[in-house]
Chains A and B, each alone.
Chain A
Amino acid sequence: MTILETGTIAAGSLLTVASLTVEEVAAILAATDRLERMAAAERARILEGRRIALLFYESSTRTRTSFELAAKSLGAMTTLVSDKSSSIEKGESLKDTGLTLRALGAECIVLRHANSGAPYLLAKMTGLPVLNAGDGMHEHPSQALLDLRTMLVRLPGMGGRLVNAKTLEGVTVVITGDILHSRVARSNAMLLPRLGARVVLCGPKELLPEDASGLGAGVEIERDFDKALKQAGSRGKAVVMMLRIQRERLAGLELDLGEYISRYQLDEERLMARAPEALVMHPGPMIRGLEIAGEVADGPNSAIEDQVRHGLGVRMALLVRALGAGGFESVTV
């Protein structure tokens, strides 16, 4: 067993996309390809007997299931701890919960938490590799990576392209809706421009403050959804990523939903008129009839189910990387 150093963040952790170099992104996606192509029996030996804890303080369907299935298909043992059925309910701190999991042999913790930054605390307190499975309004790095992979597979002319700083040149990604509360928006807006994409954030002021443009170079704000779509559609390859309004985080903010729908819903008419070729994405959970019309979600432009599928492969790669196995031996020193 390696000596754990409390206070430092273990290599193999993924807390923010900002910590990944473009080369690391390329390596993660290459590992995703490799793991997906591998025979199931061979794959199941990679993390055989390794212990992964899934620590979920917030509800989740996609992320939790795909991390769990990813871990199991690699042969790892998983244990799920959720805030509702554990000593967390009795007031146990995140630090003590993490130390308990570590004492029970967990080698890696996948954390979903309602507080932004909680994965940093857990990583520092336990010294274990921590994978951020969504922290408050901050980040959802594995989602950004699976979104990237979805784009690379679905956008025309991307097949087999090496991932580098120019891979997404000519691609405009319009992220629309509740940007303020969205960790998916932050991770994508911080990751995609580094691969050459232009990211346009779109939404009303209440859900998209001007401060958002400070996320980095290559991030712009356009409040008029039709204009944003049209520009994206006419400039090259377009992606439109729709976000749910996070009622649980609105904190007293009131929105006129009728007006919101008329200005920001992605429906067939709007899509066909402005950007008929655009790839439609949504990190889920989606509210049909609110931010997105059902027929668009189910239509030919939609990559929503692909996103979920790619989640499995990308999360396999992240777990392998976290545990320093399967080609990532050099990641953990």
Chain B
Amino acid sequence: MSDLLILNGRLVDPAGGVDGERDLLLRHGRVAAVEMPGVLRAAKAKETIDAKGMIVAPGLVDVHVHLREPGQTYKESIRTGTAAAAAGGFTSVVAMPNTVPVNDSVEKLEWMLDAARGACVKLFAMPAATFGSNGEEITDYHELQRAGAVGFTDDGKPVLLDRVMRAALVAAAGIEVPVSQHAEDTRLTGGCSMNAGPVAFRLGLRGMTVEAESKIVERDIRLLKDIERQDGLRPHLHVQHVSTAKAMSLIRAAKAEGLHVTCEVAPHHFTLTDEAIGDYDTNAKMNPPLRNDADRLAMIAGLMDGTVACIATDHAPHALFEKEQEFERAPNGITGLETALGLALRVLHKGNGMPISRVIELMSAQPAGIVSLEGRGTLKVDSFADVVVFDPAAEWSFEAAKSLSKSRNTPFDGAPMLGRVAATICEGRVVFRGA
């Protein structure tokens, strides 16, 4: 790896306790030096990036993406999905297991993580919590961890059975990785395609209730308590894409009780409400669905007060023909890797006064911590040379047509963004350069 020098920027590294003008030297894929301006002037590097007016931060980490490979490469591939990640400032992404076939074995996991897939940022994976994500029998967590698993999930589906979820939490606790839960009681959401409420009623669509989410969160928290008491283990529950005020307050209370619960919020859930569906816009259809404004504000409150550990995109590409269907038939999900930072800075920083360093922490150090990515999410000396350089003041509009993802299913086409990525560097390699 060639040396790279990043000069004149404002380095914001929450985990390293730095927020100020620093120059950064990257060497052999690692951070070689972090110095006050001037110190590194004499350093020799093959390439120099002038980051004047820019923020230099740890590369962003997304613990929740769908890269669709193997099996659905018409929607996305590991190559295109990670290219979109790089464009969004991400240097590490965690792929969900709902590929075709489901990633539930060492063989499939190794295939996915193989360099031949062409990932341009660091790819991690959470294999299925149960075989086939059928919710019946847990997979081999030990073997999968040895092959690189950073957690387990049946994302897209919940682990519904108490007995199975308990077994998953116990097995994951033994190897200190999280079980990442898609909290939806699917017994309550059959035929539903959006949030329950007045908008669903007016549109004549069946709605998912708040309880369908909160009941699973409640049950999982109860299981954590049982396991701590009965088994003497300390399982880690990670609640994916929280969308309701009720689930958020359950998580807040569980954290106050000292349980090991973390959760993520997706940018769309702190930016939009179910009104965004408008006249049945399938690009505003995802699961969990967009909720009402009180729920949206509760997501922001949870992000502000520390209840939420990280922002995660739930990047879920789908082909145009799939979204060009009747609303109830169209698949759930929107792309998100290229809009996450721009929305977080606009809504959380500019709109709600969250310091930029906190936004960065929620998108780097904290998600890295959830899945224990050693040496990532920080720019301390010797950590991986994963860096994002962005202009925090740039106001721009996202253009879906220019996305590096294979898919265009986003409700944010033309939406205003704040903060634009100038360069993304993964293990010392420049993997994206802005215009």
Given the known A-B contacts A113-B326, A121-B325, A251-B191, are A139 and B198 also in contact in the complex, defined by CB atoms under 8 Å? Answer: no
Complex interface residues of chain A between 81 and 119 (CB less than 8 A to chain B): 93-95, 113, 115-118
Contact B204 A136 (CB under 8 A): yes
A137 to B326 alpha-carbon distance, docked (Å): 13
Contact B204 A135 (CB under 8 A): yes
Q: Which A-B residue pairs are the 3 nearest by beta carbons?
A: A214-B198, A138-B204, A117-B280
**Across the interface, which residues of A come within 8 angstroms of B205, CB to CB?**
116-117, 136-138
Contact B190 A117 (CB under 8 A): no
**Given A121-B326, A139-B204, A252-B190, 18 additional A-B pairs, CB 8 A:** A94-B325, A115-B326, A115-B328, A116-B280, A117-B203, A117-B326, A120-B280, A121-B327, A125-B324, A136-B204, A137-B205, A186-B202, A211-B197, A214-B197, A214-B202, A215-B201, A251-B190, A251-B206
**Across the interface, which residues of A come within 8 angstroms of B206, CB to CB?**
137, 251
**Across the interface, which residues of A come within 8 angstroms of B191, CB to CB?**
251
- Cβ-defined partner of A211 (8 Å) among B200, B279, B324: B200
Distance (Å) between the CB of A91 and the closest chain B CB? 12
**Across the interface, which residues of B come within 8 angstroms of A115, CB to CB?**
326-329
**Across the interface, which residues of A come within 8 angstroms of B321, CB to CB?**
93, 95
A321: interface (CB < 8 Å)? no
A236: interface (CB < 8 Å)? no
A259 to B102 alpha-carbon distance, docked (Å): 48
A121 to B325 alpha-carbon distance, docked (Å): 7
Contact A116 B325 (CB under 8 A): no
A209: interface (CB < 8 Å)? yes
List the A residue with the shortest CB-CB distance to B330: A121
**Across the interface, which residues of A come within 8 angstroms of B324, CB to CB?**
93, 95, 121, 125
Complex interface residues of chain B between 155 and 208 (CB less than 8 A to chain A): 190-191, 196-206
Contact B280 A215 (CB under 8 A): no
- Cβ-defined partner of A116 (8 Å) among B196, B198, B203: B203
Report whether over half of chain A's contact residues are helix, strand or loop; otherwise say mixed.
Answer: mixed
Question: A172-201, CB under 8 A of B: which get 1 and which 0?
Answer: 000000001001001000000000000000
Distance (Å) between the CB of B320 and the closest chain A CB? 10
Distance (Å) between the CB of A142 and the closest chain B CB? 16
A78 to B84 alpha-carbon distance, docked (Å): 48
User: Can you identify 6 A-B contacts, CB atoms within 8 angstroms?
Assistant: A113-B326, A115-B328, A115-B329, A121-B324, A211-B196, A214-B201
A212: interface (CB < 8 Å)? yes
Question: A191-225, CB under 8 A of B: which get 1 and which 0?
Answer: 00000000000000000010110110000000000
**Across the interface, which residues of A come within 8 angstroms of B326, CB to CB?**
94, 113, 115, 117-118, 121
Residue among A93, A115, A215 with max Cβ neighbours from chain B (10 Å): A115
List the B residue with the shortest CB-CB distance to A212: B201
Given the known A-B contacts A93-B325, A113-B326, A115-B328, are A121 and B201 also in contact in the complex, defined by CB atoms under 8 Å? Answer: no
Given the known A-B contacts A117-B280, A120-B280, A214-B198, are A186 and B325 also in contact in the complex, defined by CB atoms under 8 Å? Answer: no
Contact B203 A138 (CB under 8 A): yes
Contact B327 A211 (CB under 8 A): no
List the A residue with the shortest CB-CB distance to B206: A251
List the B residue with the shortest CB-CB distance to A215: B202
A94 to B325 alpha-carbon distance, docked (Å): 7
**Across the interface, which residues of B come within 8 angstroms of A136, CB to CB?**
204-205, 328
**Across the interface, which residues of B come within 8 angstroms of A121, CB to CB?**
280, 324-327
Distance (Å) between the CB of B15 and the closest chain A CB? 45
Complex interface residues of chain A between 116 and 141 (CB less than 8 A to chain B): 116-118, 120-121, 125, 135-139
**Across the interface, which residues of B come within 8 angstroms of A15, CB to CB?**
279
**Across the interface, which residues of A come within 8 angstroms of B200, CB to CB?**
211
List the B residue with the shortest CB-CB distance to A137: B204
Complex interface residues of chain B between 198 and 228 (CB less than 8 A to chain A): 198-206
**Across the interface, which residues of B come within 8 angstroms of A252, CB to CB?**
190
List the A residue with the shortest CB-CB distance to B191: A251
**Across the interface, which residues of A come within 8 angstroms of B201, CB to CB?**
180, 209, 211-212, 214-215
Contact B204 A211 (CB under 8 A): no
A93 to B325 alpha-carbon distance, docked (Å): 7
Residue among B202, B205, B321, B327 with max Cβ neighbours from chain A (10 Å): B202
Given the known A-B contacts A118-B326, A137-B205, are A211 and B198 also in contact in the complex, defined by CB atoms under 8 Å? Answer: yes
Distance (Å) between the CB of B253 and the closest chain A CB? 28
Complex interface residues of chain B between 131 and 155 (CB less than 8 A to chain A): none
Contact B328 A116 (CB under 8 A): yes
Complex interface residues of chain B between 304 and 325 (CB less than 8 A to chain A): 321, 324-325
Question: B30-52, CB under 8 A of A: which get 1 and which 0?
Answer: 00000000000000000000000
A115 to B194 alpha-carbon distance, docked (Å): 13
A305 to B54 alpha-carbon distance, docked (Å): 73
Distance (Å) between the CB of B431 and the closest chain A CB? 34
**Across the interface, which residues of A come within 8 angstroms of B328, CB to CB?**
115-117, 136
**Across the interface, which residues of B come within 8 angstroms of A95, CB to CB?**
321, 324-325
**Across the interface, which residues of B come within 8 angstroms of A214, CB to CB?**
197-199, 201-202
Distance (Å) between the CB of B284 and the closest chain A CB? 12
List the B residue with the shortest CB-CB distance to A95: B324
**Across the interface, which residues of B come within 8 angstroms of A183, CB to CB?**
204
Residue among B200, B204, B206, B321 with max Cβ neighbours from chain A (10 Å): B204
A116 to B199 alpha-carbon distance, docked (Å): 13
**Across the interface, which residues of B come within 8 angstroms of A118, CB to CB?**
326
List the B residue with the shortest CB-CB distance to A209: B201
**Across the interface, which residues of A come within 8 angstroms of B325, CB to CB?**
93-95, 121
A169 to B384 alpha-carbon distance, docked (Å): 73
A116 to B201 alpha-carbon distance, docked (Å): 11
A65 to B433 alpha-carbon distance, docked (Å): 61
Contact A120 B198 (CB under 8 A): no
A125 to B324 alpha-carbon distance, docked (Å): 8
Distance (Å) between the CB of A118 and the closest chain B CB? 5
List the A residue with the shortest CB-CB distance to B282: A121
Complex interface residues of chain A between 154 and 173 (CB less than 8 A to chain B): none
A183 to B327 alpha-carbon distance, docked (Å): 16
**Across the interface, which residues of A come within 8 angstroms of B190, CB to CB?**
251-252
Complex interface residues of chain B between 253 and 293 (CB less than 8 A to chain A): 279-280
A183 to B201 alpha-carbon distance, docked (Å): 10
List the A residue with the shortest CB-CB distance to B197: A211
List the A residue with the shortest CB-CB distance to B198: A214
**Across the interface, which residues of B come within 8 angstroms of A117, CB to CB?**
203-205, 279-280, 326-328
A211 to B195 alpha-carbon distance, docked (Å): 12
A252 to B191 alpha-carbon distance, docked (Å): 11
List the B residue with the shortest CB-CB distance to A118: B326
A113 to B328 alpha-carbon distance, docked (Å): 12
A212 to B199 alpha-carbon distance, docked (Å): 9
A138 to B199 alpha-carbon distance, docked (Å): 11
**Across the interface, which residues of A come within 8 angstroms of B199, CB to CB?**
214
Distance (Å) between the CB of A237 and the closest chain B CB? 27
List the B residue with the shortest CB-CB distance to A94: B326
A226 to B326 alpha-carbon distance, docked (Å): 39
Distance (Å) between the CB of B281 and the closest chain A CB? 9
A80 to B435 alpha-carbon distance, docked (Å): 53
Distance (Å) between the CB of B426 and the closest chain A CB? 37
